[in-house]
Structure 1
Amino acid sequence: MTEPTKLLRIYTDEGAYLGDRKVLNVIALRAREAGLAGVTVLDARLGFGSSAHMHRRHVFESDRAVVIEIVETDQRLRTFVEGLEDIPDIGLITLEKVEVIGGSGLKAMLEEGE
C-alpha cells in the first residue's frame, strides 16, 4: 500500500527574512536538500493574515503574500516541517490530502515505492 500523498502549504511574506536570506528561498533550498519531490512558490496579488496587515506589491518594495506548495508523502512532509522550527513567524502551515492523477514527477516516485 502506498503512503498517503499530501499537499503542504506554507503562507508567508515575500519580505520575510531569516538572517540575510528570504524565508521563501530558505524553505525552497531546504526542500531540495531534503530530497523532496519539488517546491512551487506562488505570489499573491493581495493578502492578509492574523495581523490584518494588507500585503501587496508596491513600486519600491516587495511585500506580497506568498504561498509555498510541496507535494510529497505525509511522513516526509511532517519531518520537513519539524526542521522549519528555527524560522520565526513563518506564517500558517497547512497539510491536506491530495490525489496525484497525472504528471511524471511524484507519481513515478510513488509508484516505485509500491
Structure 2
Amino acid sequence: MKLQGEAKLVRIFLGESDKWQGQPLYEAIVLEAKKAGLAGATVFKGFMGFGAHSRIHTAKILQLSEDLPICVEIVDSEEKIQAFLPTLDQMVREGLITMEKVEVIQYRSR
C-alpha cells in the first residue's frame, strides 16, 4: 500500500472500560480498521484525563482508575477515512472523534 502526501488523521478519545460486543472498544476499532483495509491504527493509553462527564480518570496510586483515557489514531486517505466514519459512529456511543488534515512524509513496510 502506498500512502504519501495529504491524508486524514482520525482520533477517537474513549475510556479503557468502553466495550463493543463484549470486547474492549479500542481493540474492536483497530480490528475493524484492519478489516476495512486502512493504512494503520495505533492505541495510546493516557495517565490522566476527563471528558464530557467531567470525571477525572487517573493512574495515581491512591486513586486507581479502571477507566483510564484511551486514544485511537488512524491515518489514511480522505476517501478511506470518510468510508470508515459510519462504522465509528455506530461503535462509539460515548467519546470524542476528531479529524484533521496531515501530511504523510513516509509510510513503508519491509
TM-score band, normalised by shorter chain:
0.7 to 0.9
Q: Does 1:66 align with 2:70?
A: yes
**Unpaired runs of at least 5, structure 1:** 106-114
Q: Does 1:26 align with 2:53?
A: no
Residue 62 of structure 1 and its aligned partner are, at CA, apart by 2.6
CA distance in 1, matches of 2:71, 2:43: 6
Match of 1:80 in 2: 84
CA distance in 1, matches of 2:35, 2:13: 21
Q: CA RMSD in A?
A: 2.1
**Unpaired runs of at least 5, structure 2:** none
8 Å CA contact 2:58–2:65 kept in 1: the answer is: no
8 Å CA contact 1:3–1:73 kept in 2: the answer is: no
Residue 88 of structure 1 and its aligned partner are, at CA, apart by 4.8
TM-score (norm 2): 0.82
CA distance in 2, matches of 1:100, 1:3: 5
Q: Comparing both structures, which one devotes a greater share of its residues to strand? A: 2
What is the aligned length?
104
TM-score (norm 1): 0.80
Residue 45 of structure 1 and its aligned partner are, at CA, apart by 0.7
Match of 2:97 in 1: 93
